[in-house]
Structure 1
């Protein structure tokens, strides 16, 4: 019998069906998985079979077991290198979750004082202001608030950011030579809390990034993540100096 047509062992079937419910968003983070005795009754199998399936899901990082409480869908967590520019879609798909982007607004305007400060512009200029929500499964993953310099990237006027998330589009369209990251912990304001499905004041991580090339600033973006969904990682070597 071909490998593809062999029936799954029951523990593998249980594992796959629970995993499918998690990755589809049917069981979002925090959902309690049915107790082992409930799964045993549902599948008509031994508790050992159910335990084997759940143990594999723990190893995959999809669920966590809490003593005397049961098993729960884990909160997805992204590990990002501080000095790299990642595409949010890749971050989400690396978690095994469905990715989506919802454009809130994309408007052209003359740069005001706050815009010029964000992009470090010394003269009046036109900018594109973009806001959107990136989702992982059924949950908001990141709020993007971006300015693009139309002096440096005039083709942004014709881009359809409802189909192409701006970060991915920029990486493919515009060469950059340098970037700066600033990282802050903040409490979610009313607007951010509503968009990210958080309580007002909930902890968030904000990555403020500016990229530029020899002719000037390209873009500045503030990426706001729920505080429990993102971890930053920096790798470095000894410099030869103590401290």
Structure 2
């Protein structure tokens, strides 16, 4: 990040450390800083954002915990390199997708409720979902425009910490990626017409076509979560490109023309 680059303004209610973290995430996820790139030193970030060393250290610690950077003693902080073992199990993160487009990310919890697993929950989480679950509906927003609506159920037997998690800083999907070492995933891609409630939240006409991504994840055979996400922009598409003998996708989800 060049010292002459103006840092993004904080959104309403955003703390300084969240603003800094999102600025760095945008550079990493958007490809401006490729794997192995050395990010600015702590004193440079302090000067750029006008903050304390403690704030910068908190940001870098969170980025390292999320696997985006590696902190090396006396050498600095570097963008993490792809890990072949985990590349096979790449989980889409809507927050990361929006940041990669260069947009300002925000989200809103539309609904959040703990309940005994319904038959539909058990079917979505199978195998699993036999106890209590947390149902969460999240509206993802990019530059103040609805981007995607996510309906998620989390198995509280596997993820008990989610019961009392307020999801103030990160949406449920991003939080899960940072807290649960999952081992298996299933993705299904399709299309659906937005019903009245969904269309209203996504600012679409009723019955407008939406790309739908359904995914389930497990940890050691135990169900973690199942999510169904509808994307507002019909031009949005999912792209993954592979090389022979490589499990690492070279492409990522994006909008046409982005």
TM-score band (shorter)?
0.5 to 0.7
Aligned to 2:217: 211
Counterparts of 1:232 and 1:89 in 2: how far apart (Å)?
15
- The separation in 1 between residues aligned to 2:244 and 2:91, in whole angstroms, is 24
In 2: Cα distance, 1:123 partner to 1:138 partner: 35
3-state DSSP of counterpart to 2:130: coil
Query: Corresponding residue for 2:156?
Result: 150
Instruction: Name the counterpart of 1:119.
Output: 125
Q: Which runs of 4+ in 1 moved over 4 A?
A: none
2:229 is equivalent to residue 220 of structure 1: no
Structure 2 stretches of 5 or more lacking a match? 12-86, 246-258
Report how many residues are paired.
164
- State the partner residue of 1:234: 240
Query: What secondary structure, in the 3-state scheme, does the structure 2 residue paired with 1:161 have?
Result: coil
TM-score (norm 2): 0.58
2:92 paired residue number? 86
Q: Which runs of 5+ in 1 are unaligned?
A: 5-19, 25-80
CA drift of 1:124 comes to: 3.0
- 2:128–2:222 CA contact under 8 A, matched in 1: no
What is the CA–CA distance in structure 2 between the aligned matches of 1:198 and 1:123, rounded to whole Å?
33
Mark the CA change 1:144 to 1:233 in structure 2 (over 3 Å): closer, same or farther: same
The within-5 A match list for 1:161-180 is 161-180=167-186
What's the offset of the Cα at 1:157? 0.9
1:104 corresponds to which of 107, 110, 113? 110
Higher relative contact order (CA 8 A, sep 6+): 1
Distance 2:174 2:128 in 1: 27
- Encode CA deviations 1:91-110: one digit per residue, 9 max, x unaligned: 11221211101011111000
Tell me, in whole angstroms, the C-alpha distance in 2 between the residues paired with 1:233 and 1:123.
31
Task: Give the CA RMSD over aligned residues.
Answer: 2.6
* Larger Rg, first or second structure (1 or 2): 1
**TM-score using structure 1 length:** 0.62
